[in-house]
Structure 1
C-alpha cells in the first residue's frame, strides 16, 4: 500500500469501516489524504440505542456517529455520503460508478479499498459495493492509472477466533465468510491501535449494543493484524 498517497475507502453503510479501523488509525498517522465514502447513510436499519429513530432521523444519527468514529481514528478528511437508497442500493449502480469515478479523479486517488466478493458478512450491500468499486477500478478510464485495489477480508484464523469468542460469550454474532489465509497478500499490524479501534466502535450507539461492544473489545485485545487482498495490475487486465 502506498502509505503516503491518497486513499479512498468505498463502503456501503456507516460503521462498515470497523473491518479496517485499525488500518485507518495506523495510516492516518502519516497520511492526511484518507477519504471514506459511504454509499448510504443507513436509514433503513434499526436504532439499537433505544431512542427509536428511523429513516432520515436514523440516517442523520448514523452520519454523526461516523464523524465521531473517524475522528477517533485520526482520519482528517470529512466522510463522503452519497445518500443512495439504503433499501434499494442495487438500483443505483450507474449513479454510484459515476460518483466514485469523479471522486477518484478529483482527489487523485492511488489506493482504493473496498469489500471482497463476499462482503465478510455476506451482506448484499457490502457485496454490491465491492463489485461496483472493482468495476470502476477496471474501467477504461483508469486502465493506465497507477491505482492499487485492496479487498478487505478476514482470514479463517481470525474468523475462527472471533466466532469462538462469540460462542464462549453465548453471543449470536458470527463471521459468515472467511478467506483462506494463503490467499491474503497484505497484512497491517494494528496491535498499537487497539484503543482507537474500541473507541471508534463505541461511537455507534445506534448500531452496536453493549454486548457486542464488549465482544469487540475482547477480540481486539488479541487481534493484531487486519488483512487485505491486493489485486495486481495484471489481474485487472485479465478480468476486464
Structure 2
C-alpha cells in the first residue's frame, strides 16, 4: 500500500496541537497528508489576545487561520466538512461515519489520526473520534489502516495505558510553532507563556516541542 495519512479532527488547531510534528515529518518524506477538519471552531471562546475577533467574524478568521496552518505544515489536501462547532455529539452517528467513510474510500489511507473516543475531553473530540472508528469498522479488520488516537483526558494512562507511539519532533519544532502561531485567535496568549517557558527551559513547555504521543487503536469487533 502506498503511504497516505488522514488526519481527521473536529476543530482548526487540533492538528497543530496534537499532530503537527507527525504531519511535518511525514511531509518531509513526501508522504501525502489529507486533513478532514470537521468544523470551523466558530464557537471558540477565545477572540484573540489582544482582542481582534468577535462572534460574527470568528468563523471567517478561523477558516483563514486553518488555511495558514495547513500552508505552514505543507498539507495540500484540506477538506473542510462544514459541520457545526459544539454540536457533533448531537449529530446522527451514521451520518458522521458516512462523511468519514467517503474520504477513507477516496484516499485509502495507510494511517489515520483522530481523537481516541472517550479520552478527548471535549464532546466534539469524542464524537468525531467515535465517528472515525465507526467508519473504519465498516471495513474488514485486515483492510483497516493503522489508527492513532490522541488522548488528553486525565484518566487516559489509568484506563488505556501508556502511549505506544512516541515521535521525536525536535527537528520540526519550528514548524509546529509556526502552525500554532497561525491559529492566532486561539493561541496568541498561550504561546507567549510557552515561549517564555522555552526560554527558561521549562520541562513541561519543552516537551510540547520535543515529542508527540499517540495510542494505537486496538480493534475489538
Q: Could you tell me the TM-score, scaled by structure 1's length?
A: 0.77
Change (3 A) 1:207 1:176: farther
**Residue 7 of structure 2 corresponds to which residue in structure 1?**
9
For residues 23 and 67 of structure 2, the distance between their equivalents in structure 1, rounded to whole angstroms, comes to: 14
For residues 94 and 222 of structure 1, the distance between their equivalents in structure 2, rounded to whole angstroms, comes to: 37
**Residue 105 of structure 2 corresponds to which residue in structure 1?**
105
Name stretches of at least 5 consecutive residues in structure 1 with no aligned partner. 155-174
For residues 80 and 155 of structure 2, the distance between their equivalents in structure 1, rounded to whole angstroms, comes to: 27
Q: What is the CA deviation profile of residues 50-103 of structure 1, one whole-angstrom value per residue up to 9, with x for unaligned ones? A: 233325x322211110111121122232x2111112132123222221110010
Q: CA deviation at 1:198?
A: 1.1
Q: What is the CA deviation profile of residues 125-156 of structure 1, one whole-angstrom value per residue up to 9, with x for unaligned ones? A: 111111221122222x35441411111236xx
Matches within 5 A, 1:87-102: 87-92=86-91, 93-102=93-102
**Residue 214 of structure 1 corresponds to which residue in structure 2?**
192
Name stretches of at least 5 consecutive residues in structure 2 with no aligned partner. 199-203
For residues 98 and 191 of structure 1, the distance between their equivalents in structure 2, rounded to whole angstroms, comes to: 37
Q: Contact between 1:111 and 1:148, CA under 8 Å: does it hold in 2?
A: yes
Matches within 5 A, 1:139-178: 139=138, 141-153=139-151, 176=154, 178=156
For residues 164 and 141 of structure 2, the distance between their equivalents in structure 1, rounded to whole angstroms, comes to: 22
**Residue 51 of structure 1 corresponds to which residue in structure 2?**
52
For residues 46 and 165 of structure 2, the distance between their equivalents in structure 1, rounded to whole angstroms, comes to: 35
The alignment's C-alpha RMSD in Å is: 2.3
Q: What is the CA deviation profile of residues 26-48 of structure 1, one whole-angstrom value per residue up to 9, with x for unaligned ones? A: 11111341011111111122342
**Residue 41 of structure 2 corresponds to which residue in structure 1?**
42
Residue 229 (structure 1) aligned with residue 207 (structure 2): no
Displaced runs of 4 or more, over 4 A: 175-178
Matches within 5 A, 1:19-30: 19-30=18-29
For residues 96 and 63 of structure 2, the distance between their equivalents in structure 1, rounded to whole angstroms, comes to: 18
Q: Contact between 2:87 and 2:124, CA under 8 Å: does it hold in 1?
A: no
Q: Could you tell me the TM-score, scaled by structure 2's length?
A: 0.83
Secondary structure in 2 matching 1:37: strand
**Residue 129 of structure 2 corresponds to which residue in structure 1?**
130
